[in-house]
Amino acid sequence: MRDGIATARNGIPAIALVTEAFWPQGDFVAHSLGMPSFPRVQLPHPVAGSGLVNMRAIAEQMTPKIIEAFAA
Amino acid sequence: MTDFLSAPDEAAALEQLHACHCTDGLPVVIPTDERVQRMILQSNLAGDLQLGVMGPAGNAATVEKIAVSAVMAGCLPDYMPIVIAAVQAILRPEFDLTEMQATTHCTAPLLIVNGPARVECGPVSSGFGALGPGHRANASIGRALRLAMINIGGGRPGTSDMALLGHPGKFTYCLAEDEQSSPFEPLHVSRGFAEQDSVVTVVGAEAPHSVMFSGNADLPDNASRLLDVLAIGLTNAATNNAVLGGGAATVVLNPEHALILAGAGLTREQICAELYQRCYFQMPADNPFRPIKSGKKSSGRSKRYCFNSPEQILLLMAGGSGLYSMVMPSWCAGGHKNSAVSIGFDANPYCEIPAFPASS
């Protein structure tokens, strides 16, 4: 979230990818950095370490949502 | 039955309690008679009922004195059944409380709450930061036990509590198991209780040691690698579990690590058995600090295991999701090796509490 907001503040379109377990923390950071409605997409948890097949499936499932978030 | 202190106001009373070393160094709620009586009511026990004698001071641990500690710690009356059960646990001979209070080692009673009491006598938190600040029940229940150990047991630093440095868990050290999310049967069931029983398990524990493991589901030995690092943390060569052996230790798996082990088909008992097998030193000692009397020997006497049995490893799931599980080695001394004790109790003593004025 923090990286996404910093990127956006540099004029580069950005969204944050936040896993389900850390979604409340993402809300908190977005509020505390003054961008409560910063666009974000929720990923399942965990992603890291869950295996190549699963991570590829998550990527394929989430890519349209990421593109949609950028287009919004 | 009771001697009362008197003070002109609560601020003066607090200073008086600090001055007579009756606090843990932090401000306390002043244990007025009204507050203490309300706490006793929730226990559904007589105030003068004696639960045992608490060392090293050898004072009687009455329900009233325990209620005083609970009030001072900031407990709600709902928490009282857990506090009473925790005191009963540390008073059991196998817990070696008198010796534990006096040791130079850094150990504190860790309270693990299982069953309906997690909700009905709390809620006692089991998720993110459960052993940190921000959880009223966790903070005040553990603190009540410590204040009882100070004011009833007489454990005061430098005179009767000889811990060389202590650790922050000596202020409070209490959490619940995350039973809803855990893939394993609850800890108290593995210790002979029914799932619907409310149980507090008390075990002497060092401060939590972090065990980092970033799993990789593509590796066939993912679970085995996790067990390896847990064992390294649990009985590293500088722990009392490695040097003295034969005592308990605690493993708190985070949800991701629990799922890695469950995904490999391991049950709670199998995980403890695997850890037991991994916690050993070759004989003659390959531990540079030379384990002096570690636990059970292997049949060929080539190994010295750090535990006497897998049951000495208390395994539970708690905390947030991420890379870190926690292990708590223990003191491993005392006549009974400071054994873990589990006490079942009634989470609903069915005692109506009279209305309590908000100003009190």
* pLDDT tens per residue across span B46-102: 999 999 999 999 999 999 999 999 999 999 999 999 999 999 999 999 999 999 999
Domain total of chain A: 1
Q: Match 């929720």 to its residue by tokens.
A: A42
Q: What pLDDT, on the 0 to 100 scale, is given for residue B351?
A: 54
pTM here?
Answer: 0.91
- Using a CB–CB cutoff of 8 Å, tell me whether A72 touches chain B: no
Q: Where are the alpha helices (DSSP H) in chain B?
A: 10-19, 33-43, 63-73, 80-91, 97-102, 117-120, 136-151, 187-190, 222-234, 240-243, 255-263, 268-278
> Which residues of chain A are within 8 Å of residue B322 when distances are taken between CB atoms?
21
Cα separation, B304 vs B291, whole angstroms:
9
A1 Cβ contact partners less than 8 Å away, ≥ 6 residues apart: A16, A18, A25, A26, A29, A30, A33, A38, A40
Is the CB of A46 inside 8 Å of chain B's CB atoms?
Answer: yes
The band of B360, judged by pLDDT with boundaries at 50, 70 and 90, is very low
- Judge whether B216 is closer than 8 Å to chain A, CB to CB: yes
Amino acid found at B80: M
Looking at beta carbons, which residues of chain A come within 8 Å of B181? none
Show residues of chain A in contact with B216, CB under 8 Å: 49, 51
Question: In whole angstroms, how far apart are CA B173 and each of A46, A54, B203?
Answer: 28, 38, 10
Residues in chain A with CB shorter than 8 Å from the CB of B219 are none
The answer to whether the Cβ–Cβ distance between B216 and A21 falls below 8 Å is no
Q: Are the C-beta atoms of B120 and B176 separated by less than 8 Å? A: no
State yes or no: ipTM above 0.85. no
Summarised one tens digit per residue, pLDDT across range B282-304 is 766 555 555 556 566 766 667 88
| Domain span at A60 | 2-71
Residues in chain A: 72
Q: What is the chain A residue with the closest CA to B223?
A: A49
Q: Is B320 on the interface with A (CB under 8 A)?
A: yes
Report which of B233, B229, B235, B227 is spatially closest to residue B260, judged by C-alpha positions. B227
d(CA B27, CA A51) in angstroms, rounded, equals: 50
Q: Which residues of A touch B214 (CB under 8 A)?
A: 48-49
Q: State how far the Cα of B323 lies from the Cα of B342, in Å rounded to an integer.
A: 29
CB atoms within 10 A of CB B21: 14
Q: CA-CA distance, B61 to B87, in Å (whole number)?
A: 8
Out of A45, A48, A52, the one facing B218 most closely (by C-beta) is A52
**Separation CA B180–CA B3 (nearest Å):** 45
